[in-house]
């Protein structure tokens, strides 16, 4: 290819040019086939080239592709908001559409602050979060993110939001086990609130299953119950960052449903458009909207392309596709099958320290010494090596894990399209096995 002026992630690397996608596969211009075992970045949740979505895009494009949110609404946006309200738990009835996960978490943060302002409380402006977390790349979202590597360059611009340890049981800072640990990592939230002052804190944000920063770290059973109780006791809103986990990734519309928790505010993204269009959202409960409806009567945020009809039509078609094909129902079963294959790999390769996750959001953590859980030395670049060998063999997996100190945690995420078949799970496991064998 001639000189390219496209800014790619690594400017000194060349990237295959993808020609088309079908189901779990992508095909490049040279005819090489890739198994998309990460759904891109946990996004292509129903696979590539789904005809129904393409038709919905075309139908909407024939009518209108753009209307500006302060002038008009659209049938697609109205129907999508109502469908999401119907499919989510509790009274998470209100939906603010944006275009990326980072915008969704920032909007969630702003909604929480506005909620308290409308109630006459101006001091509650902080949003607490956890280390080993990722809430997005824009500055507000990055402030909330406990991801040392991504924060490093911009530290002077960031607020100091990460306050507590995550429920990273494989590397428990207390060297205890759940549930007998008494969920000390969740109790840390109470200590942080007491230290900072509940009168200064608007909300606490957490990913139900930690994604990019940790590698599919699912919490122990009652963790979120404890977190929610602490938030309620101290008048702090709970924001669930379901950008990666929402829209069925763990087998339910929201991952929080797995633990019987209804957040006050939810951030959605990624699987919402399943890669067919950029769309994300912040959902708010009736409780959060009540003072806003009675006060300013406007959520003080918004983007030019918020509630874009084209993106909304895509997201609606994704939801209808998930429903019609009863895809969420099968996620748990498929997840267990895939996990069993990963456990088999753990038996074979001693450098796999942990297999974890929920539904079809699974992760592997690599260690230099399994008994002592010692990470590989940094210079080994183990995750990058595995990812590039796998790509060479035609398998796409997602890097994760910056760890608490930016050192521990060499992980990958395996998160194929939810539409994956049993045969394809076996093919994925074989390709991964071959990639790991090529490393050892
Ligand atoms: N929140 C979570 C949990 C994510 O995993 C991500 C992206 O990986 C984001 C927010 C940011 O989303 P986006 O990259 O669409 O801005």
Q: Is pLDDT of 378 > 80?
A: no
Instruction: List, for residues 148-197, the tens digit of each pLDDT value.
Output: 888 989 999 998 889 999 999 999 999 999 999 999 999 999 999 999 99
Please report where in the chains the tokens 């000390």 appear, as a residue: 184
Interior/surface letters 243-272, b for 16+ CB within 10 angstroms, e for the rest: bbbbbbbbbbbbbbbbbebbbbbbbbbbbb
pLDDT of residue 405: 54
Q: Per mean pLDDT, which range of 61-65, 124-128, 144-148, 346-350 is the poorest?
A: 144-148
11: its two tokens = 């400017």
- In the chain, list all ranges with CATH 3.90.1150.10: 18-49+327-439
Q: How far apart are CA 287 and CA 21, in angstroms?
A: 43
Give the C-alpha distances (Å, rounded to integers) separating 159 from 55, 126, 146, 239.
44, 9, 11, 18
Dihedrals phi, psi of 357, to nearest 5 degrees: 125, -165
Classify domain 54-324 at the CATH topology level: 3.40.640
Beta carbon of 400 within 6 Å of any ligand 1 atom:
no
- Going by C-alpha positions, the residue among 137, 140, 136 that lies closest to residue 126 is 140
pLDDT of residue 403: 53
Instruction: List, for residues 301-341, the tens digit of each pLDDT value.
Output: 999 999 999 999 999 999 999 999 999 999 999 999 999 99
Pairing of strands 33-36, 395-396: parallel
Percent of the chain having pLDDT more than 90? 90
The radius of gyration of the chain's CA atoms, rounded to the nearest angstrom, is: 21
Ligand 1 centroid to Cα of residue 181, in Å, is: 30
Q: How far apart are CA 116 and CA 288, in angstroms?
A: 9
pTM for this entry: 0.97
pLDDT of residue 379: 78
- In the chain, list all ranges with CATH 3.40.640.10: 54-324
79: its two tokens = 């129907």
Angle between helices 309-324 and 327-348 (to 10 degrees): 80
191: its two tokens = 């200590």
Average pLDDT in the chain: 95
Beta carbon of 309 within 6 Å of any ligand 1 atom:
no
pLDDT of residue 377: 82
Question: 92 CB contacts (<8 Å, ≥6 apart)?
Answer: 85, 262, 263, 266, 283, 284, 285
Instruction: List, for residues 216-238, the tens digit of each pLDDT value.
Output: 999 999 999 999 999 999 999 99
Complex ipTM more than 0.95, yes or no: yes
Beta carbon of 105 within 6 Å of any ligand 1 atom:
yes
Beta carbon of 278 within 6 Å of any ligand 1 atom:
no
Pick the CATH number of 18-49+327-439 from 2.40.30.10, 3.40.50.720, 3.40.720.10, 3.90.1150.10: 3.90.1150.10
Ligand 1 centroid to Cα of residue 262, in Å, is: 20
41: its two tokens = 């970045």
CB 431 within 8 A of CB 395: yes
Average pLDDT of the segment spanning 250-273: 98
Question: 235 CB contacts (<8 Å, ≥6 apart)?
Answer: 198
């Amino acid at each position: 290819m001639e000189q390219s002026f496209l800014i790619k992630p690594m400017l000194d690397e060349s990237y295959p040019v993808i020609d088309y996608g079908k189901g779990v596969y992508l095909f490049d211009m040279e005819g090489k086939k890739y198994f998309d075992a990460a759904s891109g970045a946990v996004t292509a949740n129903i696979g590539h080239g789904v005809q129904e979505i393409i038709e919905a895009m075309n139908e909407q494009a024939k009518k209108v592709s753009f209307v500006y949110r302060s002038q008009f609404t659209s049938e697609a946006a109205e129907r999508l908001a109502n469908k999401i309200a119907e499919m989510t738990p509790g009274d998470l009835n209100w939906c603010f559409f944006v275009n990326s996960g980072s915008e969704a978490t920032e909007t969630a943060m702003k909604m929480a602050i506005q909620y308290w302002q409308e109630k006459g409380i101006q001091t509650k402006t902080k949003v607490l979060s956890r280390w080993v977390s990722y809430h997005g790349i824009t500055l507000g979202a990055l402030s909330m993110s406990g991801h040392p590597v991504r924060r490093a360059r911009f530290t002077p611009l960031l607020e100091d939001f990460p306050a507590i340890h995550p429920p990273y049981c494989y590397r428990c800072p207390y060297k205890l086990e759940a549930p007998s640990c008494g969920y000390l990592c969740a109790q840390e939230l109470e200590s942080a609130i007491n230290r900072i002052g509940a009168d200064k804190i608007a909300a606490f944000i957490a990913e139900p299953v930690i994604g990019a920063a940790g590698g599919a770290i699912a919490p122990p059973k009652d963790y979120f119950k404890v977190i929610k109780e602490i938030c309620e006791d101290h008048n702090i809103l709970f924001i669930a960052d379901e950008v990666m986990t929402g829209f069925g990734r763990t087998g339910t519309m929201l991952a929080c449903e797995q633990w019987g928790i209804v957040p006050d505010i939810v951030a959605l993204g990624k699987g919402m458009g399943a890669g067919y269009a950029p769309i994300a959202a912040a959902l708010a409960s009736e409780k959060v909207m009540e003072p806003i409806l009675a006060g300013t009567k406007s959520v003080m945020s918004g983007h030019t392309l918020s509630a874009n009809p084209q993106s909304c039509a895509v997201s609606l078609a994704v939801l209808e596709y998930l429903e019609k094909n009863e895809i969420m129902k099968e996620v748990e079963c498929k997840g267990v099958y895939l996990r069993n294959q990963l456990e088999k790999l753990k038996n074979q390769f001693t450098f796999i320290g942990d297999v974890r996750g929920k539904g079809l959001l699974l992760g592997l953590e690599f260690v230099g010494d399994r008994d002592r859980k010692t990470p590989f030395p940094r210079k080994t670049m183990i995750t990058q090596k595995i990812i590039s060998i796998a790509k060479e063999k035609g398998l796409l997996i997602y890097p994760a894990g910056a760890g608490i100190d930016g050192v521990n945690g060499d992980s990958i995420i395996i998160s194929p399209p939810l539409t994956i078949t049993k045969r394809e799970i076996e093919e994925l496991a074989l390709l991964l096995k071959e990639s790991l064998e090529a490393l050892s």
